[in-house]
Amino acid sequence: MINDQIKSALKAGDKTRLDSLRYLMSQLQNAQINKGRNNELTQVEFQQIVKKIIKNSEEAIEQYRQGNRSDLVESESAKLDVLKELIPQPLSDEEIKSLIEQVRSQQPEIQVGPLIGQVIKLSGGRADGQTVARLAASLSQ
């Protein structure tokens, strides 16, 4: 999948997309090496790697903004857009609230930490931990 996208970016001459995909490919290969040659990366592991790169890019963008480096902000934002195409869209706040209520209805006495973990697990990784924590806190008030 990624190799096909790299080929099409090469043919189209899209340097930003090509650089982003090549970096992702190197991170995937590193994870594959760490996991072992005979073990394939799962879809969940793939998404975790992409999310980690996205998080790093978002942090870099914030640092560039603080340093008044609009050229680097623009470049990193373009790379971030490419990576965000590769993961499923995150759940909306309403969908996350629904999952929180579902877990709480099954386990009324559940603490916030385990609640967050179960909601993230139910969402298939499409819910961000910080968002779940924020919504869980607002619902418990």
Last residue of a domain, one of 44, 63, 84: 84
What's the rounded Cα separation, in Å, for the pair 119 and 104?
10
Q: Are residues 134 and 67 in the same domain?
A: no
Measuring CA to CA, how many Å separate 32 from each of 28, 52, 81, 126? 6, 15, 24, 23
| Residue-level pLDDT, tens digit, the chain, 141 residues | 788 999 999 999 999 999 999 999 999 999 998 888 777 888 878 888 998 999 999 999 999 999 999 999 999 999 999 999 988 888 888 898 898 888 888 888 888 888 888 888 888 878 888 888 888 888 776
pLDDT value of position 116: 87
Q: Are residues 14 and 66 in the same domain?
A: yes
pLDDT value of position 139: 77
pLDDT value of position 121: 85
Sign for the pseudo-dihedral over CA of 2, 7, 10, 14: negative
pLDDT value of position 141: 63
Q: Are residues 80 and 126 in the same domain?
A: no
Give the count of domains, the chain.
2
Q: Which domain holds residue 108?
A: 93-140
